[in-house]
Amino acid sequence: MSSDGDYEGSDHEEEPEYDLSMPDVVTKYKAAAEITNKALAAVVAAIKVGSKAVDLCVLGDECLHTELAKAFNKKNNKGEKIEKSIAFPSCISVNNCVCHFSPTKDCELVLKDGDVCKIDLGCHIDGFIAVGAHTVVVQADKKVTGRSADAIMACKVAVEAALRMMKPGSKASEIAAMLETVAAAYDVKVVDGVLSHQMKRFVIDGNKVVINKPSPECKVEEAEFAENEVYALDVAFSTGEGKPKVLDEKDTTVYKRALDKEYNLKMKASRFVFSEINKKYPTMPFSMRNIEDSGRAKLGLVECLNHDLLHPYPVLYDKDGVVAHMKATVLVMPNGVDRITSGPADTQDIESDKKVEDEALLALLATSTKTNKKKNKKKAEKAAAAMEGMTV
């Protein structure tokens, strides 16, 4: 559900390695998470029968911009303004659409009663990224039942279990087996191709990943979670086949600059759009909805794509059924795992007639996300002090 994106060749490559051992870094992650959570809550509150998908995306982006404008306005110790912006544009993916639907202003998609909506967005402060995704059902009744409830509950349980498996020293490959256990409990499918990426400063999709459903066609290198790492934990379940495909390439509107590619563009429109991208979105994904002069932008986009200057985030659809999706930004701290982004709580009562009965999974869910290693006690207390008052 993402494309690779190292940060080589950028203006930030000579920067020192920043991680969660630095209190200021934790503070910025927490502040970005608070803004992301506010934007998620604002979009969820606006979802109703008759809402236009594009209006909800515009609302999410506007909320991110408004809250970012209030944060970290003092210059850093070098006398420079702190960079802050949207890190992932607002997306509203409905029913069997899995992800990345971020419509342009001419989109007429309107939400209907019973639609299952995935909201996905995020921001960064000084390059420290917080992203989140949440699933809600469009209906007046706050109780969600049936197959939609099965898929959403699978996501909720999977996220909680994964958080308990992301402690330092644990293997990333072990998460895939847990997801299959959850899928079996709720009679849903783990969606193919979903990856949880490690995030670093100005890098939203690092090379260290967790694959939700390994296959001969989709493999990744084994990874081990370590202290002071940050991940975008990404889970998706479908009541259909769980094998998403691109139905129409024209649906794709989210892209990210390919920092390892260069080309001398020939068309004036291409140079215009590429200049806009480099100026506004040099490292983070963006939506064409937010590029000025959309007519020239569409024309210029073709040459940029033909020469691999941009990574597309394709809009994917399962064949049938509905898809639920949740994403959380996770800090792997010395004292345990800390989830810092989530959708608003208690907006809907999710009631599935299925439940987890696997004893190993139930035992895992009964454990804490925190650890009590004596050797980490002082370090953990220091980190906790830095985070005090920043809970979101």
What are the residue boundaries of the structural domains of the chain, listed by start? 23-252+314-381, 256-313
Which segment of 10-19, 56-65, 158-167, 301-310 scores lowest on mean pLDDT? 10-19
Query: What single letter denotes the amino acid at residue 131?
Result: V
pLDDT at 164: 97
Phi, psi torsion values for 49, nearest 5 degrees: -60, 130
pLDDT band at 16 (very low <50, low <70, confident <90, very high): low
In terms of CATH architecture, what is 23-252+314-381? Alpha-Beta Complex (3.90)
Q: 323-370, pLDDT tens digit by residue?
A: 999 999 999 999 899 999 999 987 889 999 999 999 999 999 999 998
297 CA to centre of own chain: 25
Please say whether the beta carbons of 106 and 114 come within 8 A: no
Q: Six-digit token pair at 287?
A: 């939506």
From 278, 168, 272, 265, select the one nearest 226 (Cα to Cα): 168
**256-313 — its CATH code?**
1.10.10.10
From 286, 317, 162, 305, select the one nearest 232 (Cα to Cα): 162
DSSP letter, residue 81: P
How many angstroms separate the CA atoms of 369 and 280, rounded? Answer: 37
Please say whether the beta carbons of 258 and 310 come within 8 A: yes
Phi, psi torsion values for 189, nearest 5 degrees: -115, 140
Q: 71-128, pLDDT tens digit by residue?
A: 999 888 788 899 999 999 999 999 999 999 999 999 999 999 999 999 999 999 999 9
pLDDT at 387: 38
Cβ count within 10 A of residue 73: 10
pLDDT at 140: 86
Residue that is written with structure tokens 């998460």 in the block: 175
pLDDT at 62: 98
Q: pTM, whole model, 2 decimals? A: 0.89
Compute the CA torsion angle 149, 239, 44, 315 (nearest 10 deg): 170
* Strand ranges for 179-283 from DSSP E: 189-190, 195-199, 209-211, 229-238, 254-257
From 66, 59, 74, 61, select the one nearest 28 (Cα to Cα): 74
Would the pLDDT of 65 be above 70? Answer: yes
Cβ count within 10 A of residue 260: 12
Helix (H, G, I), strand (E, B) or coil at 229: strand
pLDDT band at 391 (very low <50, low <70, confident <90, very high): very low
Which segment of 267-271, 285-289, 385-389 scores lowest on mean pLDDT? 385-389
Residue 349: in which H helix or E strand, if any?
strand 349-350
Helix (H, G, I), strand (E, B) or coil at 243: coil
- 23-52 mean pLDDT: 97
- Helices assigned H by DSSP within 225-333: 268-280, 294-306
